[in-house]
Structure 1
Amino acid sequence: MRKKLHKNAALLVAATLSLSALAGCSGNNSEDNANKAANTTNKAAETNTAATNDTSNAAETTESTAPEEVTLEFYMPSPTANVNDLEAVLDKFYEETKDTLNTKIHFNFTTFDDIGQKVSLKLAAGEQVDSVFTAQWTNPNISAMISKDQLVNLDSYFNNDKYPGLKKAFTPEYLKNNSFADKTGSSHVYGIPFTHAFSGGATIYYRKDMAEKYGIGEIKSLADLEKFYDAVLANDKGIVPFTFNGSTDYVSDLLLTMTQPLTSKHNYMVNMGGTSVSVAIKPDGTAYAAKTIDGYSDPEFLKLLPEPMNTMDPLKGFKMVREWYKKGYLEKDILAQKDPDGQFMSGKAASVFRTLDIYSSESQQLETSIPGAKIGAYVITPGLMDGTAKAVGSDFKAWNFAAIPANSKNVDRTIAFFDWLFANQENHDLFEFGIAGKHWQAEGTTKYSYPATVDAATNYNFPGFTLTWNPTMVRYDSKTPDNIVTMLNNMGDTNFFYKMPNAGFSFVPDSVKTEVAKVSEVRTQLYTIGHGVVDDAAGNLTKIQKALDKAGYQKVVAEVEKQFNEFLKTNPYEGQ
């Protein structure tokens, strides 16, 4: 039931987060795009037009080699219905590439919870879709789309000198960690992965100005946080202390994260790969899959955990969140909350759960929305705040992807755009930040600031996690505190993390698809105890487990254990 807390979007990013993912991710199943998609990409790679040449050098040519103009249809989620001043940025792009790409782009924005279904309907109707945002946490997720032969196998476009921008920005190791298995267990690239870091950095953003008013100052511990919430309840009636998306991660998981002791052994995973199954590595190197939806409630799983976790109260998180709910720290109607960030930015909530990798945008938005407001960031991921190396685990996967539908007639033209986008920092920055000098200005090679004339409320605000985020091209707001910069840098450093035992593993649910669907439906009942809405967590958990077993949960558990043991034969646990 627990998972790595990640970008659920600015992300939720990411940042990320639906229940089928138990906090923003869903099952890592995969299937190849079959011969049709493979043939499409092979043919595209062999017959690529001038549009797929090295566009970074195209300006040097004296004769136009531009192909016929095409308009591409991109679908992606966004925190706002429309991106400010997007047309100006697109006009700049068209001006710079009219003699090379000769491509127009129509961005279609929708909500985070609607993107999967909206795209599915478009594809079913045979409408034009050339790039689609997808992830482990969308519904349907990227694996489900692969299993329906809906996505193009992109292997041939990467690590390929014909596409220097993609080759430079996406290393073979990065792509390997962001590939998905087909029916045979062979992994392929089905989506361009977007991330700034290898962990979102679970963070509670809070009103630092309010904390200072109460005499609390910077929040550095759970005790500080609860003291802050008590002060909010006592002094600011009508403001909820903590707002949270009721259909993503469980608040109980956040509380466990805040109180989880650091250990030197990391032989287990909870909600592995969004399967809802928790797995631990036994002393003989084989896997044991917990038989309960809440892994900690399975004694066999619990005793395999490193000390002192193997003696923890299995219901610890549920009990803590119930106390939070009863104290009034959470909204009474938390299950219906869909826009926690809106609550926070409007001044109706004193804190919100997001990820550290969106610090700059979160800070800018808050300080623009509420005059005099200051943002504080309490990083709850163990080891990240104090800089303890190898305390944070990662499977080195991104949580956001741009995929190309198999029925797109513009596969190579779409790839040509992405190749151009990552060909150099200037191309990338145009779409991530806007027009230099108008929307933003560079501060050296790693930071940026905004001109004094810029109105943040109307300034360019493209959701970069859907198109541009890449570990090799990161800039930080010049106002970002040094300690936050240090943490952000650590999050982009592979050496800072330990490799999770399931890194590179993708669950293929073909043999249990019916059970997975039924389990996903029943699993939504866990929100009531995961958010502390009801008493008797133990009794409710027992009832839910019985319903899950009736839906076929044990069959799913057995299949996950079987496939993961096969994976361990060639990817053994290394004692990390």
Structure 2
Amino acid sequence: MTRITRKSTALAIALLLLLSVMAACSKNEKESGGSPSASTPASPSASEATKPSESSEPGESAKAPPEEVTLEFYMPSGTADVNDLQAVLDRFYADTKDTLNTKFKFNFTTFDNIGQQVSLKIAGGEQVDSAFVAQWTAPNINQMIAKNQLANLDSYFNNDQYPGLKKAFTPEYLKNNSFIDANGESHIYGIPFTHGFDGGGVIYYRQDLAEKHGISEIKSVEDLTKYYDAIVTNEKGMVPLSWNGSQDLISDVLWTMVTPLTTKHNFETYVAGTNSSIAIKPDGSLYVAKTVNPWSDPEFMALLPDELKSVDPLAGFKMAREWYKKGYLEKDILAQKDPDGQFMSGKAASVVRTLDIYPSQKQQLETAIPGAKLGYFIINPGYLTGTPKAVGSDFKAWNFAAIPSNSKNIERTMQFFDWLFSDLNNHDLFEFGIEGKHWTAEGDSKYSIPAGVDAAANYNFPGFTLTWNPTMVRYDGNTPDDVVTTLNNLGDTNFFFKKLSAGFNFVTDNVKNETAKLNDVKSLLRTIGDGVTDDIEGTLAKVQKEFEKAGYEKVRQELEKQFSEFLKTNPYEGQ
């Protein structure tokens, strides 16, 4: 008689158990009248048959949690620490100890330092499991990708194993937030965070001052100029409109206010990273404007929709000069670096910001200046009228969480992000804090701060670094309905037309020096862009010569080459 070994006995028992489980599955299928789906095996594998038994509660598993891990996240914040963060983390740990079993160390630094800090830590081999990166950090996300510092995250999206990520990040959204690597291939190198596909430019003004001088709500450029005239006449020493003249051009804002709407969008001005403007010819090929001010290029203008062909090419500059001479802008505008601070301190009657920060602007103003009320004038006529397809977007986010390619915890980090976006309650825990303590839900789209809670000491996580997503947005309960409508439009892909450059990234390797020089030369436009000089045409001619000296033609040719290649797979679609 053959002797039966322990090994063969164990194998026999395992086979018997497997047959029993298979029989049970078959019985359950017959009783339910169903059949296994294409994605669900008709019977478990041998390895599954030896796993711990299922919990008696539906949907719960007795599977042992993974080994505990502590993830290191690096991100910028306006404050050194987040109020009451530990309480939120403790709630998260308690809720997920049997599933994710993940701990966190959030490392916060300043906006101007985050890029350098992250890059140095990655280069030094230190633990970094999620790093905030963007097009505006230094080094920026493109530079880090070129150095192979960031992990390719393609496999975690559009993947049924990560349903939260699949639901929150559509293929089109991801396509337009992918980046070109060193091999010329486009991949997902960061989780994109945004509430909308544009901030929605607005002029915030003192509604209390408008009412004081007999002006109700400001709904047009004419209303706005009446308000500024009243400020100049009656509020001596107050700047009507504060503006960051050390960096931006008010002429661009004013141009947007008065430019006619059009239903054809075969052009784009100032394509990101290029200092160039483009238009699509009738045959589908590309034209790159030859002038720094594209509206001054006759060939460019000839390709535009009829509504725009009669627009004065200097309209924005002329309007800026007019506002400057009327006293709407401060005399030393080119030195202004903190327009919002000027507005919040009561030294300015209005400031240009974005509508997506309305709740915080309202709270900050009314806290800083007793009796003040916040008004808002929406700059872009497309937003102001709520006209679909009147505003363009590249559907790009400007904030990303990337994972270093040398991280040992890529999967655990992505499992957390999948959990975060799989349920509104999970998301709200990190964005707003503990419900009932830090905030109170008002349906699925609004929230309020509980009575007695000090807003200044309340939970204040910088959501743009971790949680912002167009599918999960709540607004302050005091937000006016028309603001909510516009904010919802900002997050609706169907509201926008797609910019020509959506999905395009200009690689500057062959024109790095020229691009840097052009950025410096463009600063010469500030004198006319902020209205401080009458010599608009002379300044434009001077800047044009300097552009040509700096190598603008070489940049034009490189842009034409790269964008023409882009058009082969992303042709103009008549948007």
Same topology, TM > 0.5: yes
Contact 1:72–1:414 (CA under 8 A) maintained in structure 2:
no
Deviations for 1:188-221, whole angstroms, at most 9, x for unmatched residues? 1111111222222111111111111111111111
Deviations for 1:496-524, whole angstroms, at most 9, x for unmatched residues? 22222222222222222232233233333
Q: Which residue of 2 aligns with 1:65?
A: 65
Contact 1:268–1:279 (CA under 8 A) maintained in structure 2:
yes
Contact 2:245–2:337 (CA under 8 A) maintained in structure 1:
yes
- 1:313 aligned partner, one-letter code: D
Deviations for 1:93-146, whole angstroms, at most 9, x for unmatched residues? 233333433433333334444433443444455544332222233343322222
Please, which moves more after superposition, 150-159 or 280-289? 150-159
Residue 441 of structure 1, CA deviation? 0.4
Is 1:424–2:407 an aligned residue pair?
no
Q: Which residue of 2 aligns with 1:379?
A: 378
Contact 2:71–2:129 (CA under 8 A) maintained in structure 1:
no
Q: Distance in 2 between matches of 1:143 and 1:398?
A: 14
- 1:553 aligned partner, one-letter code: Y
Contact 1:202–1:379 (CA under 8 A) maintained in structure 2:
yes
Contact 2:68–2:103 (CA under 8 A) maintained in structure 1:
no
Q: Distance in 1 between matches of 2:209 and 2:59?
A: 53
Q: 1:255 to 1:58 in 2, by over 3 A?
A: farther
Matched residue of 1:563: which SS?
Answer: helix
Structure 2: runs of 5+ lacking an equivalent: 1-56
Q: Distance in 1 between matches of 2:58 and 2:351?
A: 46
Contact 2:271–2:501 (CA under 8 A) maintained in structure 1:
yes
- 1:210 aligned partner, one-letter code: L
Is 1:149–2:168 an aligned residue pair?
no
Q: Which residue of 2 aligns with 1:131?
A: 130
Q: Which residue of 2 aligns with 1:457?
A: 456
Q: Which has the higher contact order (CA 8 A, sep 6+)?
A: 1
Matched residue of 1:108: which SS?
Answer: strand
Contact 2:65–2:99 (CA under 8 A) maintained in structure 1:
yes
What RMSD, in angstroms, separates the aligned Cα atoms of the two structures? Answer: 2.4
Is 1:288–2:293 an aligned residue pair?
no
TM-score (norm. length: structure 1): 0.84
Q: Which residue of 2 aligns with 1:215?
A: 214
Residue 257 of structure 1, CA deviation? 0.6
Residue 307 of structure 1, CA deviation? 2.2
Q: Distance in 1 between matches of 2:477 and 2:156?
A: 35
Q: Distance in 2 between matches of 1:243 and 1:103?
A: 46
Is 1:555–2:554 an aligned residue pair?
yes
| Correspondences of 1:101-250 after superposition (within 5 Å) | 101-250=100-249
Residue 471 of structure 1, CA deviation? 1.3
Matched residue of 2:381: which SS?
Answer: coil
Q: Distance in 1 between matches of 2:473 and 2:233?
A: 41
Matched residue of 2:457: which SS?
Answer: coil
Please, which moves more after superposition, 122-131 or 87-96? 122-131
Q: 1:445 to 1:73 in 2, by over 3 A?
A: closer
Matched residue of 2:353: which SS?
Answer: strand
- 1:318 aligned partner, one-letter code: F
Larger Rg: 2
Q: Distance in 2 between matches of 1:162 and 1:555?
A: 47
Contact 1:442–1:449 (CA under 8 A) maintained in structure 2:
yes
Identity of aligned residues (%): 68
- 1:204 aligned partner, one-letter code: I
- 1:426 aligned partner, one-letter code: N
Contact 2:65–2:101 (CA under 8 A) maintained in structure 1:
no
Q: 1:566 to 1:421 in 2, by over 3 A?
A: same
Q: Which residue of 2 aligns with 1:34?
A: none
Deviations for 1:75-101, whole angstroms, at most 9, x for unmatched residues? 22x344443333332332233333433
Q: 1:110 to 1:533 in 2, by over 3 A?
A: farther
Matched residue of 1:543: which SS?
Answer: helix
Q: Distance in 1 between matches of 2:160 and 2:432?
A: 28
Please, which moves more after superposition, 155-164 or 442-451? 155-164
Is 1:483–2:482 an aligned residue pair?
yes
- 1:282 aligned partner, one-letter code: K
- How many matched pairs? 519
TM-score (norm. length: structure 2): 0.84
Residue 351 of structure 1, CA deviation? 1.6
Deviations for 1:409-430, whole angstroms, at most 9, x for unmatched residues? 4323322322221121111101
Q: Which residue of 2 aligns with 1:514?
A: 513
Q: Which residue of 1 aligns with 2:473?
A: 474
Q: 1:270 to 1:368 in 2, by over 3 A?
A: same
Q: Which residue of 2 aligns with 1:89?
A: 88
Please, which moves more after superposition, 465-474 or 113-122? 113-122
Residue 396 of structure 1, CA deviation? 1.8
Deviations for 1:340-395, whole angstroms, at most 9, x for unmatched residues? 33332232322221212222222222223322222112111121111112111122
Matched residue of 1:270: which SS?
Answer: strand
Matched residue of 2:74: which SS?
Answer: strand
Contact 1:366–1:374 (CA under 8 A) maintained in structure 2:
yes
Matched residue of 1:104: which SS?
Answer: strand
| Correspondences of 1:386-397 after superposition (within 5 Å) | 386-397=385-396
- 1:226 aligned partner, one-letter code: T
Residue 550 of structure 1, CA deviation? 2.1
- 2:445 aligned partner, one-letter code: T
Structure 1: runs of 5+ lacking an equivalent: 1-56
